[in-house]
Amino acid sequence: MKAMHDVIAIADPIMMKAKTIITTVRNTTTPLRAEKRIHPFWVIVHKEIADHVRSWRFNILVVLIALTCFGSLYTSLTALTRGSKPDAVTDAFLFLKLFTLTDGTLPSFTVFISFLGPLLGISLGFDAINSEQNRGTLSRLVAQPIHRDYVINAKFTAALIVISVMLFTLSLLVTGIGLIRIGIPPTPEEFWRILCFVLISICYVAFWLNLSILFSIRFRQPATAALCGIAVWLFFTIFYQLLVNMIAKNMEPSIMATSEQVIRYQQFIFNLLRIVPSQLFNEATTTLLMPSVRSLSPLTMEQVYGTIPSPLPLGQSLLVVWPQLTGLAAATVLCFALSYASFMRREIRSR
Amino acid sequence: MKQFFMPLRTILLGILSLAGTMLSSHVAGKGTGVTLYTPYTKISVPPGQSIDYTIDIINNTSLVKNVSVSLNNLPKGWSYDLKSGGWAIGELSVLPGEKKNVNLHIDVPYKVDKGIYHFTVAAPGIALLPLTVIVSEQGTYRTEFTTKQPNMEGNANAAFTFSAELKNRTGEKQLYALRAQTPPGWNIAFKVSGRQVTSVQAEPNHTESVTIEVDPPDAIEAGTYKIPVAAVTSSTSANLDLEVVVTGSYSLEMTTPSGLLSTAITVGDTRRIALQLRNNGSSPLKNIKLSHAAPTNWDVVFEPAQVEVIEPGKTAEVYATIQADDKAIAGDYVTNLEAKTPEVSSKVSLRVSVQTSMVYGWLGVLIMGGAVGTVYSLFRKYGRR
């Protein structure tokens, strides 16, 4: 029995996962073995995390993202030490420049996260359901005395935990290395801003994770789901901008237009762009990591007159980007709700 | 016949010349045929004055006359020079029947007694011209420091400018040190031809214009102040008493009771701020008008809009209600509030932190709550299958 178990484990890791979960679930439901009682839901989560961490796919992505992040840290450090212009407002938040400043050779940390975050989310979720179904493990898993929604919830939770740990680790590494190189500790305000940035990043990656889980439920082939996710990502990253540019060109007000018309036009174009999650993410992180940003809309001279160029407190910065945060979080939750409903209502017995 | 006529001609000439001498004898004295003449033989002058005589030397003879001219019996301390044709001269040659001019310049010293002084212009052996100078008053040796307007009135913030004249009525060049005795806090500046100086040099019998600028302290009480000013050298000095009538000072200070000059407003909301107006001057301030310079579409209402009067040392309370624009973006703004009287004004710059309304924040929370609620209802519907 043991040997056979090993053979199965070597032959098919997913099968083995199902086995482990089944045995653990059985154990936990047995009152005799109560000393190590873990909730079945967390058993699935642990197993999923272990799978992610051991998979080549995830490790390659981690190395890729870590390398780009350290590259961007290097460029921001060289830009910092080269000496930017002394500016009283931005110098107060020197530490945050680690995440936003660049000397032009590589994009900054935030840009990398906004670019590679979707890739991470898609890669962690595109085969969540359909590969298990194709291998027949899903029906065995659901046959166990666990609630059916544990499967999808656990898959989502596990991926989210992996993403959170990774982003936190990266940000803290950047903070730590920056601390060593700059020698100036971050102020509490800066620390909270960095924390908010990490949370928003997690939310942003979670959106793409949920989207790819949704695709993995909708499409039977993992490749199709992955392609769909990447297609959406590419569309939003490249083609949507082109589309908005075309609309903007056609709608451009004449030179004779009043300033109100121009502002209304600009506002409309901005709102069109804000359909894209990466735009929401960029606006939110820019405002949080650059406290001198006061508004994300075009400003009139009237609104600028009499202002003191001072940084906003964190609460106010959050209020400025609150719509963006709401949109991002709502989109994430919506994707999850769709995939949840879709998973719960589907037939999973057939292969 | 010729022998007979010769003595007759001589006698006739002698008579003629005798008659000519007789005619001019009351001026020239000796009848040598040369006359010294000036019309002003008796002059009355004050001390320090210069006299210019023009003396004619008239040659009535038929011969060229060499006349040496000198001055006799000139009183002690008086000086003179004799000039003709631009030259200082001692002797002059006059053609027969002609006359020459000699200019005699006499300086009467300042230090001279009142009285009558005689001296003589003499051409030794030829003619004498006695002259008389009456010194009309007792002479002095002193400096005069005067101003036409020694009294001025104004408020404590004003600067008083006196124009004074310093006359050196001594015989020598003088270097005057200029001094003023003032209570502490006053500023005095002496100016000569636009430059600030502490001493001034004056040639004898010359007048220097000195401008005296007096700046009283700002917080001085109303009243009359005497400022003695002196121009002093080792040998002479002159005093001048200036009088400054200060009507009082004007000083207004606007602040908040706590001294805090920053506040926070939610967008579109109002904030009432207490302001304190303090009269730090020594005169009452009247008709204090309040004005503001705020960002566009902001409004500031003062209550009361105008303060009638604040007595010296007293304060008045004013409330300003600042309303931020509905569309103001979050951040810090400057709002200037100013209290103004015709005399003085005071300004405070308030730093107003505009905060975004929480309404949209709660709206966002509501939307997110709705999304989470949807998921929860999905959990409830499908979760336990």
Residue B201, classed as helix, strand or coil, is strand
User: What amino acid is encoded at A266 in this protein?
Assistant: Q
**Residue A295's closest chain B neighbor by CA?**
B329
B173: left (phi over 0), alpha (psi -120 to 50) or beta: beta
C-beta neighbour count of B355 within 10 angstroms: 19
Which residues in chain B are closer than 8 Å to A149, comparing Cβ atoms? Answer: 379, 382-383, 385
Pairs of CB atoms within 8 A across A/B: 100
Which residues in chain A are closer than 8 Å to B332, comparing Cβ atoms? Answer: 307-308, 310
| Residue A286 Cα distances to A89, A320, B364, angstroms | 15, 11, 20
**Residue A317's closest chain B neighbor by CA?**
B330
Interchain CB distance below 8 Å, A329 and B368? yes
Going by the DSSP 8-state scheme, the letter that residue B236 receives in this structure is -
Closest CA relative to residue A337, chosen from A211, A193, A189, A252: A211
Helices (H) and strands (E) in chain B, counts: 2, 30
Residue B20, classed as helix, strand or coil, is helix
CA of B282, closest CA in chain A: separation in Å?
Answer: 36
Listed in sequence order, the residues at least 6 apart from B272 whose beta carbon sits closer than 8 Å to its beta carbon are B319, B320, B321, B322
Q: Tell me what pLDDT residue A207 has.
A: 94
Chain A contact for B366 (CB, 8 A cutoff)? no
**Residue A301's closest chain B neighbor by CA?**
B296
A290: left (phi over 0), alpha (psi -120 to 50) or beta: beta
Tell me how far the alpha carbon of residue B67 is from its chain's centroid.
Answer: 54
Closest CA relative to residue B240, chosen from B169, B161, B158, B149: B149
Residue A1, classed as helix, strand or coil, is coil
Picking from B294, B298, B378, the nearest residue to A341 by CB comes out as B378
Name beta bridge partners: B303. B319
Structural domains in chain B? Answer: 2-135 (2.60.40.10), 142-246 (2.60.40.10), 252-358 (2.60.40.10)
Which residues in chain B are closer than 8 Å to A299, comparing Cβ atoms? Answer: 329
Chain B contact for A334 (CB, 8 A cutoff)? yes
What phi and psi values does residue B267 have, to the nearest 5 degrees?
-50, 130
Interchain CB distance below 8 Å, A307 and B295? yes
Which residues in chain B are closer than 8 Å to A307, comparing Cβ atoms? Answer: 295, 331-334
Interchain CB distance below 8 Å, B356 and A294? no
Which of B263, B298, B329, B357 to probe by mutation at the A interface, max A CB count within 10 Å? Answer: B329
B270-279: strand order across its sheet? B252-255, B270-279, B315-323, B299-303
Interchain CB distance below 8 Å, A308 and B351? yes
Name beta bridge partners: B319. B274, B303
Angle at B380 between CA B377 and CA B385, to 5 degrees: 140
Chain A contact for B361 (CB, 8 A cutoff)? yes
Name beta bridge partners: B175. B201
C-beta neighbour count of A296 within 10 angstroms: 18
Interchain CB distance below 8 Å, B296 and A303? yes
Picking from B297, B332, B368, the nearest residue to A310 by CB comes out as B332
Q: Classify strands B252-255 and B195-197 as parallel, antiparallel or unpaired.
A: unpaired
Picking from A319, A336, A345, the nearest residue to B361 by CB comes out as A319
Q: Residue A136: which pLDDT band, with cuts at 50, 70 and 90?
A: confident
Give the C-alpha separation, B195 to B217, whole Å.
23
Give the C-alpha separation, B67 to B92, whole Å.
5
Q: What is chain A's mean pLDDT, rounded?
A: 81
Q: Is the pLDDT of residue A8 over 70?
A: no
CA of A274, closest CA in chain B: separation in Å?
Answer: 16
The per-residue DSSP string of B271-332 comes to EEEEEEEEE-SSS-EEEEEEEEE-STT-EEEEESSEEEEE-TT-EEEEEEEEE--TTPPSEE
Q: How many CA atoms lie within 13 A of B50 on its CB side?
A: 10
Give the C-alpha separation, A19 to A7, whole Å.
12
Give the C-alpha separation, A94 to A170, whole Å.
19
Picking from A148, A294, A330, the nearest residue to B367 by CB comes out as A330
Listed in sequence order, the residues at least 6 apart from B220 whose beta carbon sits closer than 8 Å to its beta carbon are B156, B185, B246, B249, B282
Picking from B295, B329, B371, the nearest residue to A295 by CB comes out as B329
What phi and psi values does residue B194 have, to the nearest 5 degrees?
85, -10
Q: What are the tens digits of pLDDT across the range A204-241? A: 999 999 999 999 998 888 999 999 999 999 999 889 98
Picking from A305, A306, A340, the nearest residue to B378 by CB comes out as A340
Q: Tell me what pLDDT residue A66 has.
A: 86
Give the C-alpha separation, B121 to A325, whole Å.
118
Chain B contact for A39 (CB, 8 A cutoff)? no
| Residue B316 Cα distances to B281, B302, B303, B308, B319, angstroms | 14, 13, 11, 10, 10
Chain B contact for A88 (CB, 8 A cutoff)? no
**What is the arithmetic mean of pLDDT over A88-106?**
73
Q: Is the pLDDT of residue A10 over 60?
A: no
Q: Tell me what pLDDT residue A18 has.
A: 53
**What is the arithmetic mean of pLDDT over A271-286?**
88
Kind plus residue range of the DSSP H or E element containing A22 = helix A13-29
Chain A contact for B327 (CB, 8 A cutoff)? yes
Angle between helices B358-382 and A322-345 (to 10 degrees): 10
Interchain CB distance below 8 Å, B356 and A323? no
**What is the arithmetic mean of pLDDT over A317-339?**
89
Picking from B295, B330, B382, the nearest residue to A306 by CB comes out as B295
Residue A177, classed as helix, strand or coil, is helix
Q: Residue A178: which pLDDT band, with cuts at 50, 70 and 90?
A: confident
Name beta bridge partners: A308. B332
Q: Tell me what pLDDT residue B16 has.
A: 47
Q: Tell me what pLDDT residue A225 has.
A: 92
Closest CA relative to residue B324, chosen from B312, B316, B315, B332: B332
Picking from A305, A316, A341, the nearest residue to B382 by CB comes out as A341
Give yes or no for a contact between B266 and A316, defined as CB atoms under 8 angstroms apart: no
Identify the burial level of B159 via C-beta atoms within 10 angstroms of its C-beta, where 0-12 means exposed, 13-18 middle and 19 or more buried: exposed
Considering only residues B120 and A101, tell me which one the structure prediction assigns the higher pLDDT. Answer: B120
Query: Which parts of chain B sit beneath pLDDT 50?
Result: 1-4, 6, 12-30
Q: Tell me what pLDDT residue A226 has.
A: 92
Interchain CB distance below 8 Å, B331 and A337? no
Q: Is the pLDDT of residue A4 over 60?
A: no
Percent of chain A with pLDDT over 70: 86
Q: Is the pLDDT of residue A183 over 70?
A: yes
Give the C-alpha separation, A236 to A277, whole Å.
8
